Amino acid sequence: MSKHLIAPSILNADFLHLEDEIRMVNRSQADLLHLDIMDGVYVPNLTFGFPVIRQIKSVAEKPLDVHLMIIDPDRYLEQYRDAGADWLTVHYETCQHLHRTIQNIAELGMKPAVSLNPHTDVALLEPVLGYLNMVLVMTVNPGFGGQTFIEASYSKIRKLRQMITASGADTLIQVDGGVGPDNMADLIAAGVDVFVVGTTIFSAPDPLQMIAKLKKSS
């Protein structure tokens, strides 16, 4: 079985039955629970804040993989830790002093990750790769679920994998956007370790079965 990880994106869950959705993920073969935090400023959408994260944490048995699509994330790092974040992803484009932000996340006891928008070159992360647990390559423009995968992402992922190998780091590569059974094998071949999957899981007739199918993809 492949060693890749699956992180269901709660953004696509049924929020009227959120506890049931989280308990389904608890029972599944998923590895992480992905939370998209959007501020309506950095991206054209709003999601949820600390009270909802705390509620999710009280039910979730999988580590919380929290993706901050917000401006000036440094203001809130400690609050996200206190709310329950285990992994914390900030956007390269929003951090004025990226190395310091990464250090602060790690010192707070979370696993630091950095996300790159589709137009951002992975080479910009070379100086900090050794400090990162994960790099999230956005394979759609951030802000909304259910978008179409951007095909140019493959070359970007391969370049990042070469950088990680050359640096000797053990940084994971995560992708988010337009991911499903049809392109997972190609993405694994390109070097992806962690898959954020939303619509494909939560709109499936049997989400548990879909997660099991995604875990078996190779």
Q: Which are the catalytic amino acids?
A: 36, 176
Residue showing tokens 């602060």: 104
Rounded to whole angstroms, how far apart are CA atoms 128 and 159? 16
For residue 7, give Cα distances in angstroms to 112, 143, 175. 16, 17, 10
Q: Cα angle vertex 64, ends 121, 19, to 5°?
A: 130
Phi, psi (5° rounding) for residue 193? -110, -35
Residue 124 β-bridge partners: none
